[in-house]
Amino acid sequence: MVGAHRLLLVTPRAGDPRPSVAAGKAHGAFHTALLEGCRNQRILPMAYRLRDKGELYRHWSVAEPDGERDFDAERRGLLDAVLARDAGLAADRLAAHLEATHEVLVKGL
């Protein structure tokens, strides 16, 4: 988790008009690292499939940037909850992170 978060922080985000390919890969690595802590072998494959399908929507949402979001703070909050092994807080923060992306997408439509 720490390595994936660090990669996310140091990878240049700028692209035209979307984030760079490297930033997309770093983002994917961070969310994959979140899932790797799951020990439930029935849920994990479903979570990976949902994450992969959600990438399309994430790409659409970044076309409508939301200047009010602090992505670094959102991800740091996720990292902190995971490192503290607080599954409930991590789940709440991940849900809020995903919901914020959903809201941007809905506004853009």
Helix H or strand E segment including 45: helix 43-62
List, in order, residues 6 or more apart from 35 with CB less than 8 Å away.
44, 47, 48, 51
Q: What is the pLDDT of residue 106?
A: 79
Per-residue model confidence as pLDDT tens digits over 24-48: 889 889 988 988 888 888 998 898 8
More confident residue, 2 or 70: 2
Over range 13-23, report the average pLDDT: 72
Whose tokens are 């994990």? That residue is: 44
Cα separation, 17 vs 34, whole angstroms:
27
Q: What is the pLDDT of residue 109?
A: 67
Q: Three-class SS of residue 84?
A: coil
The tokens describing 60, both together, are 């659409």
More confident residue, 5 or 22: 5
Per-residue model confidence as pLDDT tens digits over 92-106: 999 999 898 888 777
Cα separation, 41 vs 22, whole angstroms:
29
